[in-house]
Amino acid sequence: MLIGELIVPRVGLSVMVREGMDSTTLRRAVGHVPSTALPGQPGNFVVLGHRDTFFRPLRELEKGDTVQISTTRGRFTYSVESIEVVEPEGISLGAPPSESVATLITCFPFNYVGTAPRRFVARARLRDGTPGGEPH
């Protein structure tokens, strides 16, 4: 199922977001973690992508960058607040229920050959949303 389009203008990233984390989904798009919030909703909207395909531009991401997510429900603008590199088991998918955040996750380092040992995690807070249309 198509969720929408994720755009990070400053790094030239524009990619479709599909529901799921399976290999078929991640070959075609970046994947939304099903147990997490949808764009604009309270909670954490979590998206995974491969570092050597769709999420390669994230290597240029900086705090303050804009992340836009366009869906049939509206367009949501987030601002990157933190970027960190963690062990795979160090990833937290939770967010306080009153907050609306987006988390982008990919493997790290970006130029590693083989299965990368760490994860690049960027968290962005909802800055502006213009809901419209019907939810999926």
Catalytic residue among 10, 50, 59, 118: 50
Active site residue 30: no
Question: How far, CA to CA in Å, does 18 sit from each of 90, 92, 94?
Answer: 24, 21, 20
CA distance 40 to 71: 10
Look at strands 66-71 and 2-8 and give their pairing: antiparallel
Active site residue 107: yes
Catalytic residue among 8, 80, 107, 121: 107
CA distance 28 to 46: 17
* Terminal Cα distance for the chain, rounded: 9
Look at strands 13-19 and 30-32 and give their pairing: parallel
Q: Which residues are catalytic?
A: 50, 107
